[in-house]
A and B are shown apart, each in its own frame.
Chain A
């Protein structure tokens, strides 16, 4: 029972698109032709080559991040099925939902007759996907582990959909957003941030090294309190108090009962002497801005940067 839920939880976290530590990306170069019609050849993020006679007209995407990217490059109207946890932008909720992750149901996908199934790598082996090939559906893996990987994924999806121009624009927008926030890096040197993934009541989980949160903290010049921990991990409350973060970011969602996630942290007994709590420097990012390998990481970085600027101690 418990193990099942841990699996479910980890599944959720992975579906939310969190990077694991130590993984390097498969080299994924998109070598598509520049024009927006005609044959398309791409190499997916598992190093497999996929060829289409023309950009995909019907596509199913299982991960939330890929759905976000499809909409951002203006190809959302060609999405005929989505993973059940995809929730951004709002229009995606009107698309037929299919099971994803470990429960991926090939029948549901085949019934939607897409040309392309876009999925992450965590749940299926290539053999398990063979029925798709015989149904004429090509599977494409998009599995970004870091920001560089997100650029690759965007480029890959752009090529598949014949939207190279839009994907280039999206990538350069991200790059310029990231450049803007890292301009403050020098001023933030020595400041620490603690990312809270699950609230105290359920055991504290944080994002350590090898996660997008860690990468963005570094970009802003902040030090992740728990950079010595790799990936997502349950950590001791005592350690948080001892490491005394200057900023706290919680990704907790508000369920309508009790205090809001940030207020709950501000009110925790024993936390009142933390720098972050004393300065009211607790930020709640509840829309997965920092946990999915999507273009919205740039938004998350911007929100975090604004928040840090706002709470910077007057000097």
Chain B
């Protein structure tokens, strides 16, 4: 690692890219309904060449209208959540930082539920009101949590931040329940929304996710060097010339936007943003120049596999993806925790 350049080495990039593409291919090929590989290739070939769809083919619709957009959305969501997790962990020097532990995801849910309950909409764009409210509320939540944490404990120790995050999540969930009771006529809609899933993802969703990921993920990656400086302490970062306040604001805004969009499209999905950066860090090391792009790929792979399990394990039934990510994520997290502890003391 000493001799390596700071950036993402081409070979590593290639390996991550290949792993993601292979996972992508597997996830498109496998699903609730079995489609023979030969048919899959024919269907994709026909659609690439813009040949008209055969009139009577269920496989055609299943693959191109259901499975493909869903796998794309899942991959983008995984990448977005994982980058936000890595950025938060770097910025706060806190291995437990993540949208769900910090209460940002709950904050985003609050925004979305408020939008549904009080009928906040943006004329001409149905359901956009939910997304914008989710983003704004994620940002407000994050600012609130962090400013509270700074007041209590300037060093932002793990315990303080997680404690505040957990308390904030509970606080928000009580408000959500309260809103649900006030808006009794919308109960069903709110209940269904909070169970929100990535099933029914469309190419339009994928576009929104892709643009957000491209812009916000890109911005975060340009701050990789500053995040590295944060790793040795906020004061040190300031001393070596990092504009601490500005970087922090930029990261907060981009992370809120990423999480807000993810929550409004797929609901809250736990553990992706928390676990993936740790796994990736074991491969790439802590340098954000490598960690952040690798996290994008790693998060995509993790969530695609989780979604594959959600789609196929109880066929024809479908599991909520959060069940799979929390189940595997929690086990992985304990494993990583033990392993790093043991290494630390060895």
Report Cα–Cα, A2/B315, bound state, in Å: 22
Let me know if B119 is at the binding interface, CB within 8 A: yes
Report Cα–Cα, A4/B181, bound state, in Å: 14
Let me know if A212 is at the binding interface, CB within 8 A: no
Let me know if B192 is at the binding interface, CB within 8 A: yes
- The A-B contact count (CB < 8 A) is 132
Report Cα–Cα, A257/B202, bound state, in Å: 18
**Does A270 lie within 8 Å of B66, measured CB to CB?**
yes
Interface string of A199-212 (1 = CB under 8 A from B): 11111100000000
**B-binding segment of A24-32, A65-73, A155-163, A235-243:** A235-243
**Does B200 lie within 8 Å of A255, measured CB to CB?**
no
Q: Which residue of B lies closest to A201 (CB)?
A: B200
**Does A202 lie within 8 Å of B196, measured CB to CB?**
yes
**Does A4 lie within 8 Å of B195, measured CB to CB?**
no
Interface string of A172-201 (1 = CB under 8 A from B): 000000000000000000000000001111
Report Cα–Cα, A239/B59, bound state, in Å: 11
CB within 8 A of B192: which of A198, A235, A236, A256? A198
Q: Identify which of residues 64-94 in chain A touch chain B, using a CB-to-CB cut-off of 8 Å.
A: 84
A8 CB contacts on chain B under 8 angstroms: 180, 187, 191
Interface string of A261-282 (1 = CB under 8 A from B): 0000000111111000000000
Range of interface residues on B (Cβ < 8 Å): 35 or more
B199 CB contacts on chain A under 8 angstroms: 200, 203-204, 236-237
**Does A9 lie within 8 Å of B195, measured CB to CB?**
yes
**Does B58 lie within 8 Å of A273, measured CB to CB?**
yes
A244 CB contacts on chain B under 8 angstroms: 58
B322 CB contacts on chain A under 8 angstroms: 2
**Does B200 lie within 8 Å of A238, measured CB to CB?**
no
**Does A241 lie within 8 Å of B316, measured CB to CB?**
no
Let me know if A234 is at the binding interface, CB within 8 A: yes
**Does B55 lie within 8 Å of A273, measured CB to CB?**
yes
Most buried by B among A235, A244, A253, A256: A235
**B-binding segment of A41-49, A55-63, A225-233, A295-303:** A225-233
Let me know if B173 is at the binding interface, CB within 8 A: yes
Most buried by B among A200, A256, A271: A200
Let me know if B20 is at the binding interface, CB within 8 A: no
A228 CB contacts on chain B under 8 angstroms: 316
A238 nearest CB across to chain B (Å) = 4
Report Cα–Cα, A270/B315, bound state, in Å: 20
Let me know if B197 is at the binding interface, CB within 8 A: yes
B103 nearest CB across to chain A (Å) = 11
If A1-B106, A8-B191 touch, does A241 touch B61 (CB 8 Å cutoff)?
yes
Which B residues lie at the A interface, using CB under 8 A? 31-33, 55-58, 60-62, 64-67, 69, 106, 109, 119, 121, 126-127, 169, 173, 176-177, 180, 184, 186-197, 199-200, 202-203, 267-268, 311, 315-320, 322
A5-B194, A202-B197, A203-B318 are known contacts; what are 4 more A-B pairs with Cβ within 8 Å?
A202-B193, A203-B320, A234-B318, A239-B316
